[in-house]
A = this chain, B = another copy of it.
Amino acid sequence: MYEGVIGSLIERLGKLPGIGPKSAQRIAFWILEAEKQDIDDLANSIVEAKQKIRFCNVCFNVSEEDLCRICRDPRRDLKIICAVEESKDVIAIERTREFKGRYHVLGGAISPIDGVGPDDLRIKELLKRLADGVVVEVIVATDPNLEGEATATYLTRLLLPMGVSVSRLASGLPVGGDLEYADEVTLGRAFEGRRRIQ
């Protein structure tokens, strides 16, 4: 029903992930009514991000330079690498301030259904980083779902023979959650991984 400029705006907004036709329409009309400066800034940000953002040469995290902020930081421990699926996961882990090593962004997880095999991930690049023997531990922090577990298992098999210690993030009850709402698998894992208090 929408034609011309507004029609193509709605159509293009509708291609964004998680934006259906109604949301696209809502955003389009919001754009028409917003301050011109805000809209120009938004459009510039979109183009600029596309132009300037690339991937770190070492860890493949998003970066505006050859090396990302974390790989450039001399205070980060070179002996530990945390392998994650996406750059988003790097941010999530950084927020905890628990991890002082460096990262390796795999670019996804093994998923035969989606046609993603080990060769589609940056696994070779990870192995290369281990070649000089500096790294002593790899934490495999892929998602705790089917694809993430499969990727972790695959990686573990490759990494153990190289003499590095391999670990996986603990599964268990989310802090602040209710025990009664935990699913069976999570609760089972929480039992398995229980820590003795004394």
Whether A22 contacts B181 by the Cβ 8 Å rule is yes
A86 to B31, CA, bound (A): 14
A133 near B: Cβ within 8 Å? no
Whether the Cβ atoms of A32 and B50 lie closer than 8 Å is yes
Binary contact track A6-39/B, C-beta < 8 Å → 1, others 0:
1011001101111100110111111110101011
B29→A86 contact, CB < 8 A: yes
Q: Which residues of chain B have C-beta atoms less than 8 A from A8's C-beta?
A: 45
In the bound complex, how far is the Cα of B41 from the Cα of A13, in angstroms?
Answer: 10
Question: In terms of DSSP, what is the predominant structure of the interface of chain A?
Answer: helix
Please tell me how many copies of the chain the complex holds. 2
* Number of residues of chain A lying within 8 A (CB) of chain B: 53
Once the chains bind, are A15 and B32 in contact (CB under 8 Å)? no
Among A88-96, A112-120, A149-157, A165-173, the stretch that binds chain B is A88-96
A53 part of interface (Cβ distance < 8 Å)? yes
Q: Are B31 and A46 in contact, CB atoms less than 8 angstroms apart? A: yes
- Which residues of A38-61 have CB atoms within 8 Å of chain B's CB atoms? 38-50, 52-53
Interface: A77 (CB within 8 A): no
Closest chain-B Cβ to A190's Cβ sits at a distance in Å of 18
A3 on interface, CB distance cutoff 8 Å: yes
- Say whether A197 faces chain B, with CB atoms less than 8 Å apart: no
In the bound complex, what is the Cα–Cα distance between A36 and B47 (angstroms)?
A: 9
Nearest Cβ on chain B to A156's Cβ, whole angstroms:
27
Q: Report if A142 contacts B (CB, 8 A).
A: no
Residue of A52, A53, A64, A94 contacting most chain B CB atoms (<10 Å)? A53
* Contacting pair B69 A50 (CB below 8 A): no
